[in-house]
Structure 1
Amino acid sequence: MPYISTPTRPAAALVATAALLGGALAFGAPDRAAAAVPDTIALTVTNNSGRAEPVYLYDLGTQLSSGQQGWADASGTFHAWPAGGNPPVPAPDAAITGPAAGQSLTIRIPKFSGRIYFSYGRKLDFRLATGGLVQPAVQNPSDPNRDILFNWSEYTLNDSGLWLNSTQVDMFSAPYSVGVRRSDGTVSTTGRLKSGGWSGFFSALRAQSGGWSGLVQTRSDGTVLRALSPLYGVETGALPANVMDDYVNRVWQKYTTSTLTVTPFADQPAKKFYGRVSGGVMNFTDSSGAVVTTFQKPDADSVFGCHKLLDAPNDDVRGPISRTLCAGFNRSTLLTDPNQPDTTPGDFYQDAVTNQYARAVHGQMADGKAYAFAFDDVGNQESLVNDGAPQQAYLTLDPMS
């Protein structure tokens, strides 16, 4: 079927994970925060891309007060999606005409857990299935959005504040940065590339041996559109399925004779879990010596997606351990540091076998922060702005240079 949904973790999940794993998320007192966060806030979109094509914006997500999926117009008014079909049927046109090059546009965003999409030149093709919205999935060559230059930011706005990110979990594409103005007037931003960062990223990926250049997607006219995440690279065959095997095998061998100590909660340093490989599986015990969870040796799909053999349920044991392992595998820190998570960026991506996509993404960010894989928020490495009483949000479309 040509339309498939992408499994990116929703913004609400990002919030929960960062809070759990020591992210810099501050939850104010509920009564004070609720009074401080109105039903909608202003989002100013500035087009610094230098591109002449028209820009289209979309605010899509789940209305938190009702649980309904839908879209918001430029005033922040919510519209529920109508019923879908099988095969999926065209969704209502939710596009907001964005700012021309060098201009800004301010819209209102409501209390959603969702995405702000933007596209250049053409509107995106959204469909509705019986289960809800089908979002673009350009790892599928039949997706109608395959040749459109687009990207998105994820956000949650609720009574506790705003969480707004720059994400590369699914792909690295049209660059942008995000920001929030706080009640004291200060503005925090993240997601901006270094000067030359766009071309620097693609140069690094294409120069990397082992199939990493296969992640790059171009239009028939040669226009570079994006690089798929390594998860989609493995799933589509663009990246070899055994690309992480050597590193995983070395980790499994090391912890057959030594112990991996995981301290997943930044605010609970005494809560530790201990991993040892026995019989081909890694068993984790708690401080009493009781086995609390077990992991099979993960493949690249599990590592890059932080799922399947590294599934991370929203609990207090397996999920936190799995998230820590996922970060350690992607950053290749599990052999050099038996105490995880390793939160020192200088230690990341140093092994010859690593997530080269994530290494290249972080390497081109002005502040080094990015969401290059699902649990990149372990150790506060995520490109996220948050405030409990947001006065204004920002999304800046940056140049592809």
Structure 2
Amino acid sequence: MPHTRTRRALPLVAATALVGGALALGVPQHARAAVPDTIALTITNNSGRTQPVYLYDLGTQLSSGQQGWADANGAFHAWPAGGNPPTPAPDAAIPGPAAGQSTTIRIPKFSGRIYFSYGQKLVFKLTTGGLVQPAVQNPSDPNHDILFNWSEYTLNDSGLWLNSTQVDMFSAPYSVGVRRADGSVSTTGQLEQGGWSGFFDALRAQPGGWSGLIQTSSDGSVLRALSPLYGVETGALPASAMDDYVNRVWQKYASSTLTVTPFADQPDKKFYGRVSGNVMNFTDTSGAVVTSFQKPDADSVFGCHKLLDAPNDAVRGPISRTLCAGFNRSTLLVSSQAPDNTPGDFYQDAVTNQYAKAVHARMSDGKAYAFAFDDVGNQESLVNDGDPQQAYLTLGPLD
């Protein structure tokens, strides 16, 4: 499956957990049962909507590296060759549950997505480089007027990672869950009662262009809100949305030091940021400059990319992830120690990621993937287990 912004978060979480193998899950490797080739995923439709639901399990088969789709039994089907212009993909839709009902499918060892749509099947196409994902920030995308969403998952020999995500958009609500070997079930991603309408009301009430993120269908019904990254890219949100906050951060750390401790399990590994010549330079404990950041714009902040690029390394990437979380949550002026993992400090500045603030505020457990590195400080909506017995995806009401 092509690399996308949303997918940044999950593999990094999985990789972090896998570094410690079973120890990260608190179970000795030799004592753990082998993860089967497929596990059951039960989809329950509590949306209250009467339209048919269509399901898709799309991703990369981990054993082969091939991109493709899985049917309801978990059997893998590789995508055929695509074209230029893109050619229609095979119909991978699985009939979903009617309102108030549940459907159980098998999901294989994938790094992929579970899409679901209401009323219409999604349109997928194939290029010579692989699958074309829906891109509803483009008004001409064939899926623009369909109510849909997706969950992300990785199932491999070390277990299951399953999340709910709002990194690209906030749309049809759902929660995810996993049943463990002891019979307990962990869930996350559920909106509080009235959370759907409350989120959109919050954006409409927020000055500064935030209501421009909302997309509606031809009949005026709400479909989704774009992420602020896509809002900036499409002009729906002003490119200056974060300028005032970024300028204040740069001003503060021209005369003081930002201390970044990016690894919770390595408290002695610290980096020190100081602004000089409009660049924030980071030094290690020896005083050597290890990386530098130009003053980021809103695009870089909301996307955690470009001027806040985060390579998968041991220095720049972890620092950038920490900065990205601090800018989105507006905590870099609250504390000079980063990351600030105190939820009460998040989103308190007048200039902040108002989209992420509104998402988190309406989650039953406060957890969400509202931007790419929302997993800093474990604020993400993710369930994980090394011996998963069953997975769950529950479609919630749009109330």
Matched residue, 1:247: 245
Deviation at 1:171, TM superposition (A): 0.2
Matched residue, 1:137: 135
Query: Are positions 1:47 and 2:45 aligned together?
Result: yes
Equivalent-residue separation in structure 1 for 2:27 and 2:292 (angstroms): 37
Contact 1:10 1:114 in 2 (8 A): no
Deviation at 1:223, TM superposition (A): 1.0
In structure 2, stretches of 5+ residues that fail to align are: none
Query: Are positions 1:358 and 2:356 aligned together?
Result: yes
Deviation at 1:27, TM superposition (A): 4.6
Deviation at 1:216, TM superposition (A): 0.1
Alignment of structure 1 residues 198-213 onto 2, 5 Å: 198-213=196-211
Equivalent-residue separation in structure 1 for 2:23 and 2:305 (angstroms): 24
Helix, strand or coil at the partner of 1:107: strand
Aligned AA for 2:49?
R
Contact 2:40 2:105 in 1 (8 A): yes
The percentage of aligned residue pairs carrying the same residue is 85
Equivalent-residue separation in structure 2 for 1:32 and 1:72 (angstroms): 30
Query: Are positions 1:127 and 2:125 aligned together?
Result: yes
Q: 1:27 to 1:313 in 2, by over 3 A?
A: farther
Equivalent-residue separation in structure 2 for 1:132 and 1:34 (angstroms): 36
The normalised TM-score by structure 2 is 0.96
Equivalent-residue separation in structure 2 for 1:296 and 1:70 (angstroms): 39
Helix, strand or coil at the partner of 2:104: strand
Q: 1:167 to 1:293 in 2, by over 3 A?
A: same
Alignment of structure 1 residues 325-344 onto 2, 5 Å: 325-344=323-342
**1:6-29 CA distance string (max 9 Å, x none):** 53225652424654999x993567
Matched residue, 1:227: 225
Deviation at 1:166, TM superposition (A): 0.5
Matched residue, 2:388: 390
**1:180-233 CA distance string (max 9 Å, x none):** 000000000000000100000000011000000000000010110000000000
Alignment of structure 1 residues 140-219 onto 2, 5 Å: 140-219=138-217
Equivalent-residue separation in structure 2 for 1:357 and 1:265 (angstroms): 27
Contact 2:14 2:161 in 1 (8 A): no
**Residue correspondences, number:** 397
**1:328-384 CA distance string (max 9 Å, x none):** 000000011000000000000000000000000000000000000000000010000
Matched residue, 1:102: 100
Contact 2:6 2:165 in 1 (8 A): no
Equivalent-residue separation in structure 2 for 1:177 and 1:230 (angstroms): 22
1:306 to 292, 304, 307: 304
**1:288-311 CA distance string (max 9 Å, x none):** 000000000000000000000000
Q: 1:184 to 1:5 in 2, by over 3 A?
A: closer
Alignment of structure 1 residues 238-317 onto 2, 5 Å: 238-317=236-315
Helix, strand or coil at the partner of 1:257: coil
> How large is the RMSD of aligned CA atoms in angstroms?
1.9
The normalised TM-score by structure 1 is 0.96
**1:102-137 CA distance string (max 9 Å, x none):** 000000000000000000000000000110000000
Helix, strand or coil at the partner of 2:73: coil
Q: 1:191 to 1:245 in 2, by over 3 A?
A: same
Matched residue, 2:77: 79
Equivalent-residue separation in structure 2 for 1:105 and 1:197 (angstroms): 25
Equivalent-residue separation in structure 2 for 1:142 and 1:260 (angstroms): 44
Helix, strand or coil at the partner of 1:154: strand
Deviation at 1:157, TM superposition (A): 0.2
1:113 to 111, 114, 136: 111
Helix, strand or coil at the partner of 1:266: coil
Q: 1:115 to 1:28 in 2, by over 3 A?
A: farther
Matched residue, 1:92: 90
Matched residue, 1:346: 344
Q: 1:372 to 1:299 in 2, by over 3 A?
A: same
Equivalent-residue separation in structure 1 for 2:37 and 2:103 (angstroms): 20
Aligned AA for 1:285?
T
Aligned AA for 1:202?
F
Q: 1:33 to 1:352 in 2, by over 3 A?
A: farther
**1:77-96 CA distance string (max 9 Å, x none):** 00000000001000000000
Equivalent-residue separation in structure 2 for 1:180 and 1:173 (angstroms): 22
Equivalent-residue separation in structure 2 for 1:19 and 1:82 (angstroms): 33
Aligned AA for 2:40?
A
Contact 1:56 1:98 in 2 (8 A): yes
Aligned AA for 1:388?
G
Equivalent-residue separation in structure 2 for 1:48 and 1:42 (angstroms): 19
Contact 1:245 1:300 in 2 (8 A): yes
Q: 1:17 to 1:159 in 2, by over 3 A?
A: closer
Equivalent-residue separation in structure 1 for 2:150 and 2:357 (angstroms): 21
Helix, strand or coil at the partner of 2:249: helix
